[in-house]
Structure 1
């Protein structure tokens, strides 16, 4: 099932921008996120976010397969 994915436009304290799906309880507010597109998994969403930011990681709650740190 496809979902909309977003990346936080504010980095975490460690410099990483997190990727979240539309259902995440930690989805940043509208003013603090950029829409990446609709994807079937977090992997292409993280790849799309890397086009915007150098340090990107998946949210450990909604995109655990893409969470690496």
Structure 2
């Protein structure tokens, strides 16, 4: 089970990006909201949607959930 985080800062397209722990493109720690441990990025995105309406997976660490 991997640890996931969502960037509290919006990307230029307005979405909040979800990352898996250890991603090379992870935002600064103070900008992260912990989503907890999940088996896949889809579950992590569902949890992130409880806080942010527009979420997307990081194209580097969550390519299966990257849509924009």
Gaps of 5+ in 2: none
2:25 match: secondary structure: coil
Q: Which runs of at least 4 in structure 1 moved beyond 2 Å after TM superposition? A: none
Distance apart, 1:57 and its partner CA:
0.2
- Length-normalised TM-score, structure 1: 0.95
- Length-normalised TM-score, structure 2: 0.96
Match of 1:20 in 2: 19
- Does residue 1:55 correspond to 2:54, yes or no? yes
C-alpha RMSD of the superposition = 0.6
Gaps of 5+ in 1: none
Distance apart, 1:52 and its partner CA:
0.4
Q: How many residue pairs are counted as aligned between the two chains?
A: 68
Distance apart, 1:28 and its partner CA:
1.1
Q: How does 1:1-69 map to 2 (within 5 A)?
A: 2-69=1-68
1:4 match: secondary structure: strand
